[in-house]
Amino acid sequence: MPCAIALRADFDAPILRRLARRSKEAAQARRLLALAAIYDGGRPTEAARFGNVTLQIERDWMMRFNAEGPDGLRDQRQAMAAQIDRGTSPAVHGLVRWRLSDLGQWLWEEFCVSVSPQTLMDSNDPPRLRAGIPRRVRRLVRLGLLQP
Average model confidence (pLDDT) for the chain?
76
Mean per-residue pLDDT for 24-48?
Answer: 89
Mean per-residue pLDDT for 55-59?
Answer: 88
In the predicted model, is pLDDT for residue 129 greater than 60?
no
Q: Which spans in 70-132 are helix H?
A: 77-86, 90-93, 100-111, 117-120, 127-130
The 3-state DSSP class for residue 5 equals coil
In the predicted model, is pLDDT for residue 5 greater than 90?
no
With contact defined as beta carbons under 8 Å apart, do 62 and 38 qualify? yes
| pLDDT tens readout for residues 71-112 | 888 877 777 777 777 777 777 777 777 677 777 787 788 777
What does the buried/exposed string (b/e) look like for 66-96 if buried means 16 or more CB atoms within 10 Å of the residue's CB?
eeeebeebbebbeebbebbeeebeeeeeeee
Ranges of each domain in the chain? 13-73, 77-143
Out of 23-27, 102-106, 128-132, 141-145, give the one with best mean pLDDT: 23-27
Task: Mean pLDDT check: name the lowest of 29-33, 60-64, 139-143.
Answer: 139-143
In the predicted model, is pLDDT for residue 25 greater than 90?
no
Task: Mean pLDDT check: name the lowest of 34-48, 53-67, 81-95, 97-111.
Answer: 81-95
In the predicted model, is pLDDT for residue 22 greater than 50?
yes
Half-sphere exposure of 13 (CA within 13 A, CB side): 9
When pLDDT is cut at 50, 70 and 90, the band that residue 36 belongs to is very high
CA dist., res. 18 & res. 136, Å (int): 41
In the predicted model, is pLDDT for residue 43 greater than 80?
yes
Cα pseudo-dihedral 84, 89, 90, 94, rounded to 10:
-50
Full 3-state SS string of 66-86: HHHHHHHHCCCHHHHHHHHHH
Mean per-residue pLDDT for 30-45?
Answer: 90
Write down how long the chain is.
Answer: 148
